[in-house]
Copies of this chain bind each other. A is one copy, B any other.
Protein backbone atom coordinates (compact mmCIF):
# COMPACT_ATOMS: atom_id res chain seq x y z
CA UNK A 1 0.00 0.00 0.00
CA UNK A 2 1.31 3.42 -0.80
CA UNK A 3 -0.51 6.51 0.35
CA UNK A 4 2.27 9.05 0.28
CA UNK A 5 5.77 9.71 -0.99
CA UNK A 6 8.83 8.52 0.94
CA UNK A 7 10.10 11.24 3.20
CA UNK A 8 13.32 9.97 4.77
CA UNK A 9 12.05 11.32 8.10
CA UNK A 10 12.11 9.32 11.32
CA UNK A 11 10.03 9.39 14.53
CA UNK A 12 12.34 10.93 17.09
CA UNK A 13 9.94 10.97 20.01
CA UNK A 14 6.36 10.99 21.18
CA UNK A 15 5.20 13.89 23.36
CA UNK A 16 2.17 13.22 25.55
CA UNK A 17 0.24 16.09 27.14
CA UNK A 18 -2.47 16.05 29.82
CA UNK A 19 -4.78 18.85 28.65
CA UNK A 20 -8.01 19.68 30.49
CA UNK A 21 -10.74 22.27 30.07
CA UNK A 22 -12.69 23.31 33.20
CA UNK A 23 -16.07 22.84 31.50
CA UNK A 24 -17.79 21.68 34.67
CA UNK A 25 -17.76 25.29 35.91
CA UNK A 26 -20.59 26.16 33.47
CA UNK A 27 -22.33 22.75 33.36
CA UNK A 28 -21.78 22.57 29.64
CA UNK A 29 -21.94 18.92 28.75
CA UNK A 30 -24.10 17.86 31.70
CA UNK A 31 -26.25 14.79 31.13
CA UNK A 32 -27.87 12.04 33.15
CA UNK A 33 -24.66 10.09 33.68
CA UNK A 34 -22.07 12.85 33.39
CA UNK A 35 -23.18 15.74 35.60
CA UNK A 36 -19.89 17.64 35.68
CA UNK A 37 -17.43 16.78 32.92
CA UNK A 38 -14.13 18.58 32.46
CA UNK A 39 -13.49 17.90 28.78
CA UNK A 40 -9.95 16.64 28.42
CA UNK A 41 -7.47 15.23 25.98
CA UNK A 42 -4.54 12.89 26.40
CA UNK A 43 -2.80 14.59 23.54
CA UNK A 44 -0.02 13.14 21.43
CA UNK A 45 2.59 14.57 19.10
CA UNK A 46 4.51 12.12 16.91
CA UNK A 47 7.68 14.15 16.52
CA UNK A 48 9.78 13.73 13.39
CA UNK A 49 13.28 14.91 12.56
CA UNK A 50 12.02 16.81 9.56
CA UNK A 51 8.78 17.54 7.78
CA UNK A 52 5.42 17.60 9.56
CA UNK A 53 4.62 16.07 12.96
CA UNK A 54 1.48 13.98 13.64
CA UNK A 55 -1.19 15.03 16.16
CA UNK A 56 -3.84 12.92 17.85
CA UNK A 57 -5.61 12.52 21.18
CA UNK A 58 -7.83 10.43 23.38
CA UNK A 59 -10.85 12.27 24.73
CA UNK A 60 -11.89 11.94 28.38
CA UNK A 61 -14.03 13.99 30.74
CA UNK A 62 -11.45 14.85 33.37
CA UNK A 63 -10.29 12.58 36.18
CA UNK A 64 -8.38 9.66 34.74
CA UNK A 65 -6.98 11.61 31.80
CA UNK A 66 -3.59 10.87 33.38
CA UNK A 67 -4.30 7.12 33.02
CA UNK A 68 -4.68 7.61 29.27
CA UNK A 69 -1.41 9.53 29.30
CA UNK A 70 0.24 6.55 31.02
CA UNK A 71 -1.33 4.17 28.50
CA UNK A 72 -0.07 6.19 25.54
CA UNK A 73 3.38 6.35 27.10
CA UNK A 74 3.39 2.55 27.46
CA UNK A 75 3.05 2.22 23.68
CA UNK A 76 5.84 4.66 22.82
CA UNK A 77 8.62 2.02 22.66
CA UNK A 78 6.68 0.38 19.82
CA UNK A 79 7.03 3.55 17.75
CA UNK A 80 10.25 5.37 18.50
CA UNK A 81 12.80 4.99 15.74
CA UNK A 82 10.32 3.95 13.03
CA UNK A 83 10.66 5.90 9.82
CA UNK A 84 7.76 8.02 8.68
CA UNK A 85 7.70 5.99 5.47
CA UNK A 86 7.37 2.73 7.41
CA UNK A 87 4.34 4.15 9.20
CA UNK A 88 2.51 5.89 6.38
CA UNK A 89 2.98 3.17 3.77
CA UNK A 90 1.44 0.55 6.07
CA UNK A 91 -0.98 2.31 8.39
CA UNK A 92 -2.94 -0.90 8.94
CA UNK A 93 0.25 -2.64 10.01
CA UNK A 94 1.09 0.27 12.30
CA UNK A 95 -2.26 -0.05 14.06
CA UNK A 96 -1.91 -3.83 14.40
CA UNK A 97 1.57 -3.35 15.85
CA UNK A 98 0.00 -1.29 18.64
CA UNK A 99 -3.02 -3.52 19.33
CA UNK A 100 -0.95 -6.68 18.95
CA UNK A 101 1.68 -6.19 21.63
CA UNK A 102 1.42 -9.48 23.47
CA UNK A 103 1.69 -8.04 26.98
CA UNK A 104 -0.27 -4.80 26.54
CA UNK A 105 -3.06 -6.77 24.84
CA UNK A 106 -3.97 -8.28 28.23
CA UNK A 107 -5.22 -4.86 29.37
CA UNK A 108 -8.11 -4.99 26.90
CA UNK A 109 -8.07 -6.69 24.58
CA UNK A 110 -9.00 -3.71 22.38
CA UNK A 111 -11.11 -1.86 24.89
CA UNK A 112 -11.02 0.82 27.55
CA UNK A 113 -8.01 2.97 28.36
CA UNK A 114 -5.49 0.84 26.46
CA UNK A 115 -7.56 1.07 23.29
CA UNK A 116 -8.14 4.81 23.66
CA UNK A 117 -4.35 5.17 23.81
CA UNK A 118 -4.09 3.27 20.54
CA UNK A 119 -6.69 5.61 19.06
CA UNK A 120 -4.61 8.66 19.94
CA UNK A 121 -1.49 7.20 18.35
CA UNK A 122 -3.18 5.76 15.26
CA UNK A 123 -5.00 9.03 14.60
CA UNK A 124 -1.72 10.92 15.00
CA UNK A 125 -0.18 8.60 12.39
CA UNK A 126 -3.03 9.33 9.96
CA UNK A 127 -2.71 13.06 10.62
CA UNK A 128 0.98 12.71 9.78
CA UNK A 129 0.26 10.69 6.64
CA UNK A 130 -2.25 13.25 5.41
CA UNK A 131 0.14 16.11 6.07
CA UNK A 132 2.92 14.35 4.19
CA UNK A 133 0.49 13.84 1.32
CA UNK A 134 -0.56 17.48 1.52
CA UNK A 135 -4.25 16.55 1.77
CA UNK A 136 -7.04 16.67 4.32
CA UNK A 137 -7.40 13.16 5.71
CA UNK A 138 -10.84 12.57 4.22
CA UNK A 139 -9.44 13.10 0.73
CA UNK A 140 -6.38 10.97 1.36
CA UNK A 141 -8.64 8.09 2.42
CA UNK A 142 -11.23 8.69 -0.27
CA UNK A 143 -8.58 8.58 -3.00
CA UNK A 144 -7.09 5.24 -1.91
CA UNK A 145 -7.83 2.11 -3.93
CA UNK A 146 -10.41 -0.33 -2.57
CA UNK A 147 -7.58 -2.77 -1.84
CA UNK A 148 -5.55 -0.20 0.09
CA UNK A 149 -8.60 0.81 2.13
CA UNK A 150 -9.29 -2.85 2.93
CA UNK A 151 -5.68 -3.29 4.06
CA UNK A 152 -6.20 -0.68 6.77
CA UNK A 153 -8.60 -3.04 8.54
CA UNK A 154 -7.68 -5.72 11.07
CA UNK A 155 -9.96 -8.45 9.71
CA UNK A 156 -9.52 -10.68 12.75
CA UNK A 157 -12.92 -11.49 14.30
CA UNK A 158 -14.88 -9.97 11.40
CA UNK A 159 -14.78 -12.63 8.71
CA UNK A 160 -17.94 -14.46 9.77
CA UNK A 161 -19.85 -11.31 8.84
CA UNK A 162 -17.66 -9.37 6.40
CA UNK A 163 -14.56 -10.56 4.53
CA UNK A 164 -11.86 -8.46 2.93
CA UNK A 165 -13.07 -9.58 -0.51
CA UNK A 166 -16.64 -8.49 0.16
CA UNK A 167 -15.36 -5.15 1.44
CA UNK A 168 -13.29 -4.59 -1.68
CA UNK A 169 -16.33 -5.37 -3.79
CA UNK A 170 -18.45 -2.92 -1.82
CA UNK A 171 -15.78 -0.23 -2.22
CA UNK A 172 -15.55 -0.90 -5.96
CA UNK A 173 -19.26 -0.38 -6.31
CA UNK A 174 -18.87 3.09 -4.81
CA UNK A 175 -15.91 4.07 -7.00
CA UNK A 176 -17.74 5.57 -10.00
CA UNK A 177 -19.45 8.25 -7.86
CA UNK A 178 -16.36 9.33 -5.92
CA UNK A 179 -15.52 12.39 -8.01
CA UNK A 180 -19.09 13.69 -8.05
CA UNK A 181 -19.56 13.24 -4.29
CA UNK A 182 -16.24 14.93 -3.56
CA UNK A 183 -17.34 17.94 -5.57
CA UNK A 184 -20.70 18.02 -3.81
CA UNK A 185 -19.03 17.91 -0.39
CA UNK A 186 -16.65 20.70 -1.33
CA UNK A 187 -19.62 22.76 -2.52
CA UNK A 188 -22.37 21.90 0.00
CA UNK A 189 -20.63 20.43 3.03
CA UNK A 190 -22.05 17.60 5.15
CA UNK A 191 -25.19 17.80 7.34
CA UNK A 192 -24.69 18.63 11.02
CA UNK A 193 -27.01 18.32 13.98
CA UNK A 194 -26.72 20.22 17.23
CA UNK A 195 -26.69 19.10 20.87
CA UNK A 196 -26.02 22.57 22.25
CA UNK A 197 -29.62 23.18 23.43
CA UNK A 198 -30.08 19.92 25.24
CA UNK A 199 -27.86 19.69 28.31
CA UNK A 200 -29.61 18.81 31.55
CA UNK A 201 -27.82 21.59 33.42
CA UNK A 202 -29.59 24.31 31.39
CA UNK A 203 -32.72 26.17 32.54
CA UNK A 204 -35.96 25.91 30.56
CA UNK A 205 -35.50 29.48 29.36
CA UNK A 206 -32.01 28.71 28.13
CA UNK A 207 -33.27 25.55 26.41
CA UNK A 208 -35.92 27.51 24.52
CA UNK A 209 -33.49 30.21 23.49
CA UNK A 210 -30.96 27.69 22.22
CA UNK A 211 -33.68 25.81 20.31
CA UNK A 212 -34.66 29.07 18.63
CA UNK A 213 -31.05 29.68 17.71
CA UNK A 214 -30.67 26.14 16.36
CA UNK A 215 -33.66 26.62 14.08
CA UNK A 216 -32.34 30.00 12.92
CA UNK A 217 -28.92 28.45 12.28
CA UNK A 218 -30.48 25.97 9.87
CA UNK A 219 -30.18 22.75 11.86
CA UNK A 220 -32.71 20.09 10.89
CA UNK A 221 -32.02 17.88 13.90
CA UNK A 222 -31.59 18.89 17.55
CA UNK A 223 -30.64 16.58 20.40
CA UNK A 224 -31.99 16.81 23.94
CA UNK A 225 -30.57 14.98 26.95
CA UNK A 226 -33.06 12.91 28.95
CA UNK A 227 -33.08 10.28 31.68
CA UNK A 228 -32.68 12.37 34.83
CA UNK A 229 -36.32 12.87 35.79
CA UNK A 230 -39.35 11.89 33.71
CA UNK A 231 -41.46 14.96 34.56
CA UNK A 232 -38.55 17.23 33.65
CA UNK A 233 -38.06 15.38 30.38
CA UNK A 234 -41.73 15.70 29.44
CA UNK A 235 -41.69 19.42 30.20
CA UNK A 236 -38.42 20.03 28.35
CA UNK A 237 -39.45 18.01 25.30
CA UNK A 238 -42.79 19.82 25.15
CA UNK A 239 -40.93 23.15 25.18
CA UNK A 240 -38.46 21.96 22.56
CA UNK A 241 -41.16 20.60 20.25
CA UNK A 242 -43.22 23.76 20.68
CA UNK A 243 -40.21 25.93 19.88
CA UNK A 244 -38.89 23.88 16.97
CA UNK A 245 -42.22 23.03 15.34
CA UNK A 246 -43.12 19.72 13.75
CA UNK A 247 -40.49 19.64 10.99
CA UNK A 248 -37.22 19.82 12.88
CA UNK A 249 -36.29 16.39 14.20
CA UNK A 250 -35.63 15.95 17.92
CA UNK A 251 -33.34 13.17 19.04
CA UNK A 252 -33.10 12.27 22.72
CA UNK A 253 -30.11 10.86 24.58
CA UNK A 254 -30.25 8.94 27.88
CA UNK A 255 -26.49 8.38 28.21
CA UNK A 256 -26.85 4.76 29.38
CA UNK A 257 -29.15 5.63 32.22
CA UNK A 258 -31.78 2.89 31.96
CA UNK A 259 -32.37 -0.83 32.22
CA UNK A 260 -34.28 -2.38 29.32
CA UNK A 261 -37.79 -2.13 30.79
CA UNK A 262 -37.25 1.41 32.04
CA UNK A 263 -36.05 2.48 28.61
CA UNK A 264 -39.21 1.15 27.03
CA UNK A 265 -41.63 2.69 29.53
CA UNK A 266 -39.81 6.04 29.63
CA UNK A 267 -39.73 6.33 25.84
CA UNK A 268 -43.44 5.51 25.65
CA UNK A 269 -44.03 8.56 27.85
CA UNK A 270 -41.98 10.73 25.50
CA UNK A 271 -43.45 9.30 22.29
CA UNK A 272 -46.04 12.08 21.96
CA UNK A 273 -43.22 14.53 21.18
CA UNK A 274 -42.16 12.45 18.18
CA UNK A 275 -38.56 11.72 19.15
CA UNK A 276 -36.49 10.72 16.14
CA UNK A 277 -34.03 8.48 17.97
CA UNK A 278 -33.22 7.43 21.51
CA UNK A 279 -29.47 7.36 22.01
CA UNK A 280 -27.68 5.12 24.52
CA UNK A 281 -30.86 3.92 26.24
CA UNK A 282 -28.86 1.39 28.30
CA UNK A 283 -25.36 -0.06 28.76
CA UNK A 284 -23.23 0.30 25.62
CA UNK A 285 -22.20 -3.33 26.17
CA UNK A 286 -25.79 -4.56 26.03
CA UNK A 287 -26.21 -5.62 22.43
CA UNK A 288 -29.22 -7.83 23.15
CA UNK A 289 -30.68 -5.15 25.42
CA UNK A 290 -30.53 -2.58 22.62
CA UNK A 291 -32.15 -5.09 20.27
CA UNK A 292 -34.98 -5.72 22.75
CA UNK A 293 -35.57 -2.00 23.28
CA UNK A 294 -35.56 -1.35 19.54
CA UNK A 295 -38.13 -4.07 18.96
CA UNK A 296 -40.43 -2.64 21.63
CA UNK A 297 -40.38 1.10 20.88
CA UNK A 298 -40.74 1.19 17.11
CA UNK A 299 -41.00 3.44 15.17
CA UNK A 300 -38.67 5.42 17.46
CA UNK A 301 -35.14 4.64 16.29
CA UNK A 302 -32.34 3.36 18.51
CA UNK A 303 -28.87 4.93 18.21
CA UNK A 304 -25.63 4.08 19.96
CA UNK A 305 -21.89 3.86 19.53
CA UNK A 306 -19.89 6.54 21.32
CA UNK A 307 -19.03 4.04 24.06
CA UNK A 308 -19.07 0.88 21.93
CA UNK A 309 -15.48 -0.16 22.32
CA UNK A 310 -14.45 -1.98 19.15
CA UNK A 311 -15.40 -3.49 15.79
CA UNK A 312 -16.39 -6.83 17.35
CA UNK A 313 -19.09 -5.10 19.38
CA UNK A 314 -20.35 -3.11 16.39
CA UNK A 315 -20.39 -6.30 14.32
CA UNK A 316 -22.77 -7.85 16.81
CA UNK A 317 -24.88 -4.71 17.18
CA UNK A 318 -25.51 -5.02 13.45
CA UNK A 319 -25.98 -8.82 13.48
CA UNK A 320 -28.52 -8.54 16.30
CA UNK A 321 -30.40 -5.69 14.57
CA UNK A 322 -29.85 -3.62 17.70
CA UNK A 323 -29.42 -0.27 15.93
CA UNK A 324 -31.17 2.05 13.50
CA UNK A 325 -28.36 4.63 13.68
CA UNK A 326 -24.69 3.79 14.21
CA UNK A 327 -22.62 6.43 15.99
CA UNK A 328 -18.90 6.19 15.45
CA UNK A 329 -16.48 8.05 17.69
CA UNK A 330 -13.07 9.11 16.41
CA UNK A 331 -11.20 8.32 19.65
CA UNK A 332 -12.97 5.47 21.49
CA UNK A 333 -12.16 2.56 19.18
CA UNK A 334 -8.63 2.10 17.87
CA UNK A 335 -8.56 5.15 15.60
CA UNK A 336 -9.05 5.58 11.86
CA UNK A 337 -8.26 1.97 10.95
CA UNK A 338 -10.92 0.46 13.19
CA UNK A 339 -13.42 3.15 12.21
CA UNK A 340 -12.90 2.19 8.57
CA UNK A 341 -13.84 -1.38 9.56
CA UNK A 342 -16.95 -0.11 11.32
CA UNK A 343 -17.98 2.07 8.36
CA UNK A 344 -17.64 -0.96 6.08
CA UNK A 345 -19.79 -3.06 8.44
CA UNK A 346 -22.43 -0.33 8.58
CA UNK A 347 -22.45 -0.09 4.79
CA UNK A 348 -22.93 -3.82 4.43
CA UNK A 349 -25.94 -3.70 6.77
CA UNK A 350 -27.17 -0.44 5.18
CA UNK A 351 -27.34 1.30 8.56
CA UNK A 352 -26.80 5.09 8.48
CA UNK A 353 -23.85 6.47 10.44
CA UNK A 354 -24.32 9.65 12.50
CA UNK A 355 -20.97 10.29 14.19
CA UNK A 356 -20.68 11.24 17.84
CA UNK A 357 -18.82 14.51 18.36
CA UNK A 358 -18.60 17.44 20.72
CA UNK A 359 -16.28 17.19 23.71
CA UNK A 360 -12.99 18.70 22.68
CA UNK A 361 -11.68 18.01 19.19
CA UNK A 362 -14.14 15.23 18.36
CA UNK A 363 -15.90 17.32 15.70
CA UNK A 364 -12.53 18.13 14.14
CA UNK A 365 -11.46 14.50 13.95
CA UNK A 366 -14.65 12.66 13.08
CA UNK A 367 -15.73 14.90 10.19
CA UNK A 368 -12.94 13.33 8.11
CA UNK A 369 -14.37 9.87 8.68
CA UNK A 370 -17.91 10.88 7.72
CA UNK A 371 -16.75 12.62 4.55
CA UNK A 372 -14.58 9.66 3.57
CA UNK A 373 -17.54 7.35 4.21
CA UNK A 374 -19.75 9.41 1.93
CA UNK A 375 -17.26 9.59 -0.93
CA UNK A 376 -15.85 6.06 -0.90
CA UNK A 377 -18.05 3.75 1.18
CA UNK A 378 -21.75 4.42 1.67
CA UNK A 379 -22.28 7.10 -0.98
CA UNK A 380 -25.45 8.12 0.76
CA UNK A 381 -26.43 11.17 2.85
CA UNK A 382 -29.95 10.04 3.62
CA UNK A 383 -30.65 10.20 7.37
CA UNK A 384 -27.06 11.12 8.17
CA UNK A 385 -25.62 14.01 10.16
CA UNK A 386 -22.53 14.65 12.28
CA UNK A 387 -23.09 15.88 15.81
CA UNK A 388 -21.99 19.47 16.38
CA UNK A 389 -21.50 21.52 19.49
CA UNK A 390 -20.16 25.04 19.16
CA UNK A 391 -17.57 24.72 21.89
CA UNK A 392 -13.78 24.72 22.27
CA UNK A 393 -13.04 24.80 18.54
CA UNK A 394 -10.86 27.88 18.99
CA UNK A 395 -8.20 25.68 20.57
CA UNK A 396 -7.44 23.97 17.26
CA UNK A 397 -5.34 25.34 14.43
CA UNK A 398 -7.84 24.03 11.85
CA UNK A 399 -11.22 24.16 13.61
CA UNK A 400 -14.34 22.45 12.30
CA UNK A 401 -16.57 24.95 10.54
CA UNK A 402 -20.34 24.60 10.56
CA UNK A 403 -22.39 27.06 8.50
CA UNK A 404 -26.14 26.93 7.92
CA UNK A 405 -26.37 23.52 9.59
CA UNK A 406 -23.60 21.92 7.54
CA UNK A 407 -19.96 21.04 8.16
CA UNK A 408 -17.73 22.69 5.55
CA UNK A 409 -15.36 20.13 4.04
CA UNK A 410 -11.87 20.58 5.57
CA UNK A 411 -9.23 21.63 3.06
CA UNK A 412 -6.05 21.90 5.17
CA UNK A 413 -3.68 18.90 5.17
CA UNK A 414 -4.11 16.49 8.11
CA UNK A 415 -6.88 15.30 10.43
CA UNK A 416 -7.60 18.75 11.96
CA UNK A 417 -6.35 17.33 15.28
CA UNK A 418 -3.66 19.86 16.02
CA UNK A 419 -4.20 21.89 19.18
CA UNK A 420 -2.74 25.38 19.51
CA UNK A 421 0.58 25.60 21.38
CA UNK A 422 -0.85 28.26 23.68
CA UNK A 423 -3.67 25.91 24.69
CA UNK A 424 -1.25 23.08 25.42
CA UNK A 425 0.49 25.43 27.83
CA UNK A 426 -2.48 27.17 29.41
CA UNK A 427 -4.63 24.05 29.86
CA UNK A 428 -1.88 21.66 30.95
CA UNK A 429 -3.10 19.80 34.01
CA UNK A 430 -2.48 20.47 36.85
CA UNK A 431 0.09 23.24 36.41
CA UNK A 432 -1.22 25.26 33.44
CA UNK A 433 -2.59 28.75 33.95
CA UNK A 434 -6.24 27.72 33.74
CA UNK A 435 -5.90 25.25 36.60
CA UNK A 436 -3.27 27.04 38.63
CA UNK A 437 -5.19 30.32 38.86
CA UNK A 438 -8.24 28.74 40.46
CA UNK A 439 -6.47 26.27 42.68
CA UNK A 440 -8.95 23.68 41.39
CA UNK A 441 -7.48 20.40 40.33
CA UNK A 442 -9.54 17.77 38.68
CA UNK A 443 -8.58 14.79 40.86
The chain A residues found within 8 Å of chain B, CB to CB, are 33-38, 60-64, 66-68, 70-71, 74, 77, 101-116, 156-160, 256, 259-261, 282-289, 292, 307, 309-310, 312-313, 315-316, 319-320, 442-443
Note all chain B residues with C-beta closer than 8 A to A36. Answer: 102-103
Bound-state Cα–Cα, A310 to B111, Å: 12
A103 and B283 contact, CB distance less than 8 A: no
Give the distance to chain B from A325, nearest Cβ to Cβ, in Å.
Answer: 20
Bound-state Cα–Cα, A38 to B103, Å: 8
Give the distance to chain B from A439, nearest Cβ to Cβ, in Å.
Answer: 16
B103 and A62 contact, CB distance less than 8 A: yes
A106 and B61 contact, CB distance less than 8 A: yes
Contacts A111-B111, A111-B112, A113-B71: A102 and B285 contacting too (C-beta < 8 A)? Answer: no
Note all chain B residues with C-beta closer than 8 A to A256. Answer: 109
Give the distance to chain B from A390, nearest Cβ to Cβ, in Å.
Answer: 22
B63 and A67 contact, CB distance less than 8 A: no
Note all chain B residues with C-beta closer than 8 A to A101. Answer: 63
A74 and B68 contact, CB distance less than 8 A: no
**Would you give 12 A-B contacts (Cβ < 8 Å), ordered by A?**
A33-B105, A34-B105, A60-B103, A63-B74, A67-B71, A71-B113, A107-B112, A112-B114, A157-B282, A157-B283, A285-B313, A285-B316
B71 and A157 contact, CB distance less than 8 A: no
A260 and B71 contact, CB distance less than 8 A: no
Q: B64, B160, B261: which contacts A289 (Cβ < 8 A)?
A: B160
Give the distance to chain B from A297, nearest Cβ to Cβ, in Å.
Answer: 14
A64 and B159 contact, CB distance less than 8 A: no
Note all chain B residues with C-beta closer than 8 A to A307. Answer: 109
A-B CB proximity, top 6 nearest = A112-B112, A160-B260, A63-B103, A62-B103, A113-B113, A70-B70
B34 and A104 contact, CB distance less than 8 A: no
B111 and A74 contact, CB distance less than 8 A: no
Give the distance to chain B from A39, nearest Cβ to Cβ, in Å.
Answer: 10
Bound-state Cα–Cα, A289 to B313, Å: 11
Give the distance to chain B from A74, nearest Cβ to Cβ, in Å.
Answer: 5
Q: B33, B292, B309: which contacts A160 (Cβ < 8 A)?
A: B292
Bound-state Cα–Cα, A261 to B157, Å: 10
